[in-house]
Amino acid sequence: MTNYDYDLFIIGGGSGGVRAGRIAASLGAKVGMAEERYMGGTCVNVGCIPKKLYSYAAHYAKDFADARGYGWQFPVAPEFNWDTLVANQSKEIGRLSTIYQSMMRGAGAEVFHERATLLDANTVQLQSRKVTAKEILIATGGWPFVPQFPGSQHAVTSNEVFSLDKFPRSILIVGGGYIAVEFAGIFAALGVKTCVSYRGTHLLRGFDAEVAAAFTTELEKSANLHLQSNVEEITEQGSRLRVRFDRGDDIEVDTVLFATGRHPNTAKLGLEQLGVKLAKNGAVIVDETFTTNIPNIHAVGDVIDRVALTPVALAEGQILAQRLFGKGNKEMNYDNIPTAVFCQPEIACVGLTEEDARERYDEVLAYRSQFTPLRHTLSGRNEKTFIKLLVDAKTNKVLGAHMMGEYAAEIMQGVAIAIKAGATKADFDATLGIHPSVAEEFVTMRTPS
């Protein structure tokens, strides 16, 4: 019988790794973990949490303007201080990262703040020592991707944008996904002259096309859009940056943010030398049990490039730990996962897009509602809310729900429970609305269009 230093050794201290480690330790496993940067991973440090804090900051700017329509007067105009926001969010992120560290140690796991690489299927090389483990989990997440071109070194990514030394007066955001549009909303609301450049024809690819189009209309009210454009070169112009596009035009801005996606963070971990199968983008290929082609090496979270969401990584880590050290045999269900984009206005959805629904079902009924929320009848803000339900005409089952508007994420969480439970349109129709509210629109739409 081989003796190992650990029953489970985890490389990566993000959401999936920490959840797997805590569950494994609670089931009696001896757990070790290596995290070379920061406990809590992307979500806590340079993702979900700081992004939501900055989104709150941006909303205040709009709230101050809205308040005037409700009789509030400001003898002195409110002033925004970037340094205060950066310092306060940094303090909060530090607190949360410490909590993750404490959770692991409280569970009895040993945490190494070092880089780790694999020497063989059971041996991990740390900077300070070598350790062995019966089972190894790769949970190293993703890393921002910036294509190489002349001057690309002048761009920042979502890793650095939260702590810019100087608040920009103007910014170019490159990308059309959720990270790009979230930062576009944040900076535009904070008063920054904002431009978004995207190589595609429309933003938010993969989301319901009608919702994405409605959002694009809203974003154009506060930011300039350069669709079907690529950045060819960035050059320094004193303290500013000149950006040249492939279509021949150029602009000058203070900051260029590349939000062009994240790649699985698997470089130089020793996986290829071991023969662990990787996808072309570096993602670790795993089966339904989150196991690689080497039976004792596993992976969860963004590094497997399935659904890059924190709750998904948490669920994957828990399922794996329970299977390895408990009696669990549950498989991950990726259907009807709710998600939100904390752009402005917010987007949230669960289930199928209209495009996917029409591919899978013979007849789909689409219920739509677009309106000005009651709040903005007095605030004067020119912002629409858009709500959509997709229904299988044969079974009356609700296939998808989509919303663009204030508090979309908070509202969609409840809708997601109904859809996960298999609710029909008749169930929605039989539910009384809370009046007056935006959410009641989900139960008052009667006529498909």
Active site residues: 435
Determine the distance from the C-alpha atom of residue 163 to the mean position of all C-alpha atoms in its chain, rounded to a whole number. Answer: 19
55 contacts: CB under 8 Å, gap ≥ 6? 182, 185, 186, 342, 344
Q: 143 and 262 in contact (C-beta within 8 Å)?
A: yes
Q: How far apart are CA 63 and CA 424, in angstroms?
A: 37
Q: How far apart are CA 253 and CA 96, in angstroms?
A: 34
Q: How far apart are CA 359 and CA 327, in angstroms?
A: 38
299 contacts: CB under 8 Å, gap ≥ 6? 137, 138, 139, 284, 286, 290, 292
Q: Phi and psi for 270 in degrees, rounded to 5?
A: 90, 10
Q: 389 and 418 in contact (C-beta within 8 Å)?
A: no
Contacts of the segment 266-270: beta carbons below 8 A, 24+ positions apart: 266/138, 266/140, 266/303, 268/117, 269/11, 269/116, 269/117, 269/118, 269/138, 269/140, 270/117, 270/118, 270/119, 270/125
Q: Phi and psi for 431 in degrees, rounded to 5?
A: -90, 130
Secondary structure class of 196 (helix, strand, coil): strand
Q: How far apart are CA 196 and CA 184, in angstroms?
A: 7
